[in-house]
Structure 1
Amino acid sequence: MFEGYFEDALKGYYRHLVIVNSKDYINKVFTIIDDFLKINPRPKIIYGFHPWAYKAKDRLKLFKDRLSDIIDIDYSNSEKFLGQSADLIILDSVNDFRPNYIARLIDMVKGGGLAIIYSDNILENKLYRNSLTRKGIVKDLFERRFILEAKKHRGIILINGDEISFIPYSSAETHRAFKKIPKYPRIPLVLHELCLSSDQNKVLEESLFITGEGKRVVVITAARGRGKSASIGLFLAYLLYKYQEKFNNIIITSPTYYSSQEIFNFLIKGLEALKVKFKKITSRDGKIMKIKVGESRVKWLSPDLAKNEDGDLIIIDEAAAIGLENLDYLIRAWNKVILVSTIHGYEGSGKAFLKYINKLKNSVLLKHIKMEYPIRYAKGDPVEKYLYDVLLLDAEAPEINDFSEMSISEVTQEELFANDALLKNVYGILVEAHYRNSPDDLMLLGDMAFQRIIIAWSDNKPIGVAQIVYEGELEESQILDISNGIKNEGNLIPHRIIKYMRLLEFGRLKGWRIMRIAVSPEHQGKGIGSKIINEIINKAKDEKVDWLGASFIADYSVLKFWIKNQFIPIYLSSIKNEGLNGYSVIVIRPLSEKAKEIAINLSSLLKDKLLRTSHQVYFNLNPLIIVQLLRNTYSNQIADYQTPQIYLEKIKAYLDGKLPYNSVAEASHYFVMKHFLVHKIDLEEDLEASLVARVLQGKSWYHAGLMLGLSSKEVEKKVKQALAKLIQTYN
């Protein structure tokens, strides 16, 4: 039935996607596969599923009995297989229909190949969707749009029950990546021959910019599937072949190890092509952690460890996903930097990153290399087009030409998903304002019922948006479960406060968590976000809500925004969220007396925790963030006890140059503690941040300077200025 279409896809190097949503899914899937096998009798096959889910292994056995050489992948570990490709991908969606898994695995299908998603009913009994359920209620707006878009897009075969929808695509419309090796290449020909497109050849040649004198940054951006990481892997092979002395110690970092594994794979291919001897060092579970060539090495480190590593070159893979604050630090710390990032897709927010790169051009020597052509399939591929449209991978905020009058109103999820242009604009604002996004976020927007959506409008277009989630009002059994370590997916803030702060009564209060609030990047700083919050506060008071809250990864500007709107910091996680690369902060604005009493108590505990553990738990946290937290939390103790005279004399001796800092560290710590507890004077923020970095966190002058964008001498000068003021005030 589809044999001719599959043959055309092979000719045009494009892909088909089949969605089977039927009780008779097995027979229908095998009918499709039989047609595909007539065109490609020996395909490489990847099968995605949850091996522990009900009857999942039984279904896998049915496929293994009919097909040979199936690579089965646990959805939960699918990130480990990034960079792999296959002719046929089969996704078992009987137990779980989750956008992140769909996007990640379909991306592995190469040109001429086929992806199949099969389910008995994508609207029922799905793990991720069930996690969005509260009191038995969950919506299905994402899934219905997924099916509707499949009917509209070419190259997508939808089998819904016994009904088949299919609009054919043609090989005449595709454009395969071509490879044109430069006429006079500076990189050895054997490496150019490993490239699959002219874009990759271009990256090899133009990345040589990094070998020039002085501080330099190379930026490589592209949509998914363009071969960015592979190109950099080949380039590193050349550096180890030609520039061993200059690039003796190279670090690769990324949000997770797996997003960088393709760099290592192609580094090895490049070294082998150049006939360079190397040593591969792996972890116990087989990860390539280091490549050594003579005395030179290429090593992977997490962003936190890479911050303070010394070396000749750092490659930051999926750079948009580690946060602009981390990028700033790394670019200050390293002399040679290569940034590799996806600008559309599900690793990070492209527009915010590109805006950052354009600003960076003003301060460092920078070369920006853009890649256009996919290498796994042809340009114009209909499956890529469908995934971009159905998952809004390239959604952008609307342009507001006439920002004057502004109104704020609430829209329902149904209204939002019924208007595709509005959905793209609203989701585009959320994507551009937050550096970590994933297709799961779109499903959450459509399916989670216990939420409210508030939109700010200007020029008849959305300019800002907030998502509110209902939390709290927990039953005693739920509170007890949380205190005993059982998760409660829909109550993030009560969960943290009950489990980690042991304050059970907080769970009884009624709260609204502002899960996301975002304003179009071009219109931030105009008070739009604050006006949205005021509207939410008015609604919350009308509905007798005890508290409003927010939880976010610690970021200086974000924290300042919430504090400006009179939210009180009450919690800072003790363990970094590795997926989001930061510590979670919780702030609340109490609206009832009981909530205020609890907020003051939690806030004072947070201040005490920061003063006691910044040298240990929060050593890598930005000192400016710690300053904002200390300034805006309450004190639960009075530090008006007598200052030891010896501490005063030691600080004076340090200020006069008679003693080094290490000899007065305990005296400095005493005065800094007293200052933040009593707060009789307002020091300038840069002075307080210097005190926090050197005295509370115990950073060296050098690393304190890196964090604050200052030289070592400038940091010590500010510490001395601050201590002089403190001993005058607290003597």
Structure 2
Amino acid sequence: MDIRGFLEESTRIGWRSLVIYLGGLEDLTRFLREINVKPSLCIVRDKNSLLDCVETRLYRETHRLLGLEYDNILFTLENTMGWPGNLLALSFEFVKCGGFYILHIPPSHYDRSFTKYFLDVVRNECNVAIVKDSHVEYMSICIEKPVKPLQPKPRSSDKFIRRLEKLCVNEDQARIIRSYPGFLYGRDKLFLIHGDRGRGKSSVMGLLAAYTMIRGHDRFIVTSRSLYGVQSFFKLLVKGLESLGEKPFIERNPKGFIYRVSIKGSSIAYVEPWRITSVQQPLFIDEAAGVGVARVRRWYNRIGKLVASTTIHGYEGSGRVLLKMVNELFHRTQIYRLVNPVRYYPGDPLEKILYRIFHLDAEPLEKKQVIEPLSYRVYCSSDLVQDYDLLRRIYGLLVTAHYRNEPDDLILLLDTELFDIYVVCDGEGDIIAVAQTRLEEVSSTKPGELVDKGYRLVDKFARYALLDEMIDRRILRIVRIAVTPSLQRRGVGSRLLEYIEEKARSKGYDGIGAIFSGFDTVRFWIKNNYIPIYISPRYNRITGEKNVVVVKPLNREFEGIIGKAANMFYHYLWFTSHILYRDLGSEKLSIIMKYLNSKRYHEEISREYDLKRIEKVLNNELPIDSILDTIMNYIDKIKTYELDQLEHIIFTSRILQGKTIVDIAKITKKKPDEITKIYESLIKKVLEKLLRELNN
């Protein structure tokens, strides 16, 4: 069977299929002519890779296609430095039932580790053809016909629900629609829909929102990580409203994305999750794990009703963590699961390939007890590329330690030599704990360059004007660490840390540290003598939590540097908590401050460091908020400075009362952006005068 016959047979049966073409761009063009295919959609990195297609989109435009379907898609890696995993996984979903996906891998990618891994995996799957320079290297077709789901029959006595049931593609969706009125008018607080990718969660949410609007709920909100992430929601919302006899008014942004839908007496609009304070209930949350588990928990406590969806085996967020939290901590809930896909048949080969490659359904082992003796091993990227089962066991644990696990994360792990993987095996040989580490070796004192290189840990020392002292230091950052959930709080994680520290000392590293979100693990790090040196003032836009940085010295000299950072951090917390950490729980803040105090990190800050930090802020090397403790420290001098009326209001509101920029904007009746500019200019004016006085 040739490629043309392969594609025709797959389409006839109803499965989606994958064709991988290895070769140059000219060879690919010739191949497409030979099989008489003009792709419905081509996805390319830049205009230098244009091919003869019905529609062409650049990588950066791919997200605009959410909710659309194509008979076939060509995705080319031409002119790319690496594999764009997130876009690749996303575009898999655009292929219609019975359609096909052509992936072009140019010669520049042949030697990449992920290319080898990718090809090894797909050679074990069906409905795949691999072609190199027009020669078929591998072909396998699924001959078993798919089982088509039955269209659900309307059952509800509610006339509006009956009309919405007709828009459902399977009984799972219809069951959720029928259950919704009981939630809307009942006492439960959370209505959660979960399932794997492509199950129509956003679509069902849109239909639920249509019912909410028709029942008279006014001006409520939908939120998600991004506006393009709720386009399927809005499209089904509009369709649902039209089926109910309404003529919705649709508002779009300049890029064509829907952001608000209105009917007489009701409207729903998209709002970014980090901008939500209080809203009309219910609040709709599309991909709840993606907006942050901690943020969802805060909304549950503050807002009357939440309607949310989350992907369990996906990469939008840690859906498994969210579902566990809901089951353990939320009591007034209704939880529903969508099982069957909506765009293709159950058992779809293309979906199986996506899950196999990116380990979207990898799960940690269930263990009842720690079986001694424990053993320790270290793996590098090449080890994982060559052993699929080992990678899956490790990845099944790593994904439990991260708020979001994207295809790009796996590609970075396999395609570079940046990371080492430390594992703990129990007496039965099972992996029960794992840590992903990266070495940060400092050769630059420019904060921007450090972030670009991925040196996120070392970069935090810039806030304390200590980067000069970090030159030639080698710091090991623990990117992720995880213990089998059923074996947590039994000392396994601490023993893994001890092993990593022992290895780091033997290599002459100066220190070891971590950056993590959330305070649930602060006690774990403190117990293992890791010193907190930073808490992010703002909540992470993705996780909804504040990042915490902890470091542990591995030699006496670096201990002195960490001591300076910890000392200034303690000083910073005392002087700025009413400004920057007013929204952080007092108990959480107290844990860190009490620990720092017990370690005697409370010496007075020298004038030398104050001067150095002021100069760096004035030179735009440090953010304004990093110097607020110095301003408070010299408030006796600053209170005598002459300020105009608006400056005085802003200074008093922000520095003395700890009001937010948004609060100050309301007080002064100005826009937040305008207040921010005035505030930053004011602080710099104050610092310039203070610097002159301190230098005299």
TM-score normalised by L of structure 2: 0.80
SS at match of 2:352: helix
- Given the alignment of the two structures, is residue 509 of structure 1 paired with residue 479 of structure 2, yes or no? no
1:225 to partner: Cα distance: 0.8
* Residue equivalent to 1:214: 187
Q: Which one is further off, 585-594 or 488-497?
A: 488-497
Structure-2 change in CA distance of 1:494 and 1:284 (3 Å)? same
Give the letter for the 2:245 counterpart.
K
Is the CA contact 1:179–1:201 (under 8 Å) kept in the aligned structure 2?
A: no
Is the CA contact 1:430–1:465 (under 8 Å) kept in the aligned structure 2?
A: yes
Structure-2 change in CA distance of 1:356 and 1:583 (3 Å)? closer
Pick one of 526, 532, 535 that aligns with 1:572: 535
1:236 to partner: Cα distance: 1.1
Is the CA contact 1:214–1:335 (under 8 Å) kept in the aligned structure 2?
A: no
Structure-2 change in CA distance of 1:502 and 1:289 (3 Å)? farther
Is the CA contact 1:85–1:110 (under 8 Å) kept in the aligned structure 2?
A: yes
1: CA distance, partners of 2:33 / 2:585: 54
Structure-2 change in CA distance of 1:34 and 1:111 (3 Å)? farther
**Where do 1:187-266 residues align within 5 Å?**
187-241=160-214, 243-244=215-216, 247-266=217-236
1: CA distance, partners of 2:490 / 2:207: 46
Give the letter for the 1:17 counterpart.
L
* Residue equivalent to 1:609: 572
Give the letter for the 2:303 counterpart.
W
Pick one of 270, 274, 277 that aligns with 2:240: 270
- Given the alignment of the two structures, is residue 58 of structure 1 paired with residue 44 of structure 2, yes or no? no
* Residue equivalent to 2:23: 22
1: CA distance, partners of 2:60 / 2:548: 27
Computed over aligned residues only, the root mean square deviation of the Cα atoms, in angstroms, reads 2.9
SS at match of 2:83: coil
- Given the alignment of the two structures, is residue 166 of structure 1 paired with residue 138 of structure 2, yes or no? yes
1:191 to partner: Cα distance: 2.5
2: CA distance, partners of 1:625 / 1:539: 32
Pick one of 119, 142, 158 that aligns with 2:105: 119
1: CA distance, partners of 2:464 / 2:32: 52
- Given the alignment of the two structures, is residue 522 of structure 1 paired with residue 506 of structure 2, yes or no? no
Pick one of 544, 565, 590 that aligns with 1:627: 590
Give the letter for the 2:284 counterpart.
I
* Residue equivalent to 1:54: none
Structure-2 change in CA distance of 1:274 and 1:183 (3 Å)? closer
**Where do 1:291-440 residues align within 5 Å?**
291-306=261-276, 308-360=277-329, 363-364=331-332, 366-400=333-367, 403-413=370-380, 414-440=382-408
2: CA distance, partners of 1:248 / 1:206: 21
2: CA distance, partners of 1:50 / 1:149: 25
Structure-2 change in CA distance of 1:115 and 1:333 (3 Å)? same
1: CA distance, partners of 2:294 / 2:251: 31
Give the letter for the 2:42 counterpart.
Y
1:618 to partner: Cα distance: 4.0
* Residue equivalent to 1:445: 413
1:628 to partner: Cα distance: 3.2
SS at match of 1:529: helix
1:170 to partner: Cα distance: 3.1
Q: Which one is further off, 624-633 or 440-449?
A: 624-633
Pick one of 139, 142, 151 that aligns with 2:114: 142
Is the CA contact 1:222–1:371 (under 8 Å) kept in the aligned structure 2?
A: yes
* Residue equivalent to 1:106: 92
Is the CA contact 1:570–1:606 (under 8 Å) kept in the aligned structure 2?
A: yes
Is the CA contact 2:274–2:541 (under 8 Å) kept in the aligned structure 1?
A: no
Aligned length: 604
* Residue equivalent to 2:648: none
1:553-600, CA deviations, whole angstroms, 9 ceiling, x for partnerless residues? 2x0112222122111112234555434444432211011223222212
* Residue equivalent to 2:6: 5
Give the letter for the 2:563 counterpart.
I
2: CA distance, partners of 1:378 / 1:550: 43
* Residue equivalent to 1:713: none
Is the CA contact 2:189–2:300 (under 8 Å) kept in the aligned structure 1?
A: no
**Where do 1:552-571 residues align within 5 Å?**
552-553=516-517, 555-571=518-534
Is the CA contact 1:12–1:378 (under 8 Å) kept in the aligned structure 2?
A: no
Is the CA contact 1:88–1:109 (under 8 Å) kept in the aligned structure 2?
A: yes
Give the letter for the 2:13 counterpart.
G
* Residue equivalent to 1:48: 43
1:381 to partner: Cα distance: 1.0
Structure-2 change in CA distance of 1:33 and 1:400 (3 Å)? farther
Is the CA contact 2:359–2:392 (under 8 Å) kept in the aligned structure 1?
A: yes
1:50 to partner: Cα distance: 2.3
1:641-661, CA deviations, whole angstroms, 9 ceiling, x for partnerless residues? xxxxxxxxxxxxxxxxxxxxx
1: CA distance, partners of 2:547 / 2:465: 14
2: CA distance, partners of 1:484 / 1:230: 41
1:531-552, CA deviations, whole angstroms, 9 ceiling, x for partnerless residues? 1001111112222211101112
Structure-2 change in CA distance of 1:512 and 1:99 (3 Å)? same
1:517 to partner: Cα distance: 0.7
SS at match of 1:556: coil
1: CA distance, partners of 2:254 / 2:574: 38
SS at match of 1:632: helix
Structure-2 change in CA distance of 1:609 and 1:85 (3 Å)? farther
* Residue equivalent to 1:643: none
SS at match of 2:123: helix
- Given the alignment of the two structures, is residue 290 of structure 1 paired with residue 260 of structure 2, yes or no? yes
Is the CA contact 1:215–1:336 (under 8 Å) kept in the aligned structure 2?
A: yes
Structure-2 change in CA distance of 1:615 and 1:389 (3 Å)? same
| Identical positions, percent | 27
2: CA distance, partners of 1:500 / 1:7: 65
Is the CA contact 2:152–2:168 (under 8 Å) kept in the aligned structure 1?
A: no
* Residue equivalent to 2:614: none
2: CA distance, partners of 1:502 / 1:46: 51
Give the letter for the 2:35 counterpart.
D
2: CA distance, partners of 1:515 / 1:122: 29
Stretches of structure 2 that go unaligned for 5 or more consecutive residues are 606-628, 634-655, 661-696
2: CA distance, partners of 1:576 / 1:26: 49
1:515 to partner: Cα distance: 1.1
* Residue equivalent to 1:591: 554
SS at match of 1:436: coil
Structure-2 change in CA distance of 1:418 and 1:486 (3 Å)? closer
1: CA distance, partners of 2:309 / 2:387: 35
2: CA distance, partners of 1:438 / 1:484: 24
1:221 to partner: Cα distance: 0.8
SS at match of 1:460: coil
2: CA distance, partners of 1:233 / 1:369: 16
SS at match of 2:175: helix
2: CA distance, partners of 1:520 / 1:122: 39
Structure-2 change in CA distance of 1:488 and 1:170 (3 Å)? closer
1:37-66, CA deviations, whole angstroms, 9 ceiling, x for partnerless residues? 4xxx8x7x3322222xxxxx1321xx2xx3
Give the letter for the 1:381 counterpart.
D
1:406 to partner: Cα distance: 4.1
2: CA distance, partners of 1:50 / 1:236: 37
SS at match of 2:300: helix
Stretches of structure 1 that go unaligned for 5 or more consecutive residues are 52-56, 125-138, 640-669, 675-694, 700-731
SS at match of 1:548: strand
1: CA distance, partners of 2:585 / 2:258: 31
Is the CA contact 2:168–2:174 (under 8 Å) kept in the aligned structure 1?
A: yes
1:397 to partner: Cα distance: 0.7
Structure-2 change in CA distance of 1:295 and 1:636 (3 Å)? farther
1:97 to partner: Cα distance: 1.7
Pick one of 470, 476, 498 that aligns with 1:534: 498
- Given the alignment of the two structures, is residue 154 of structure 1 paired with residue 126 of structure 2, yes or no? yes
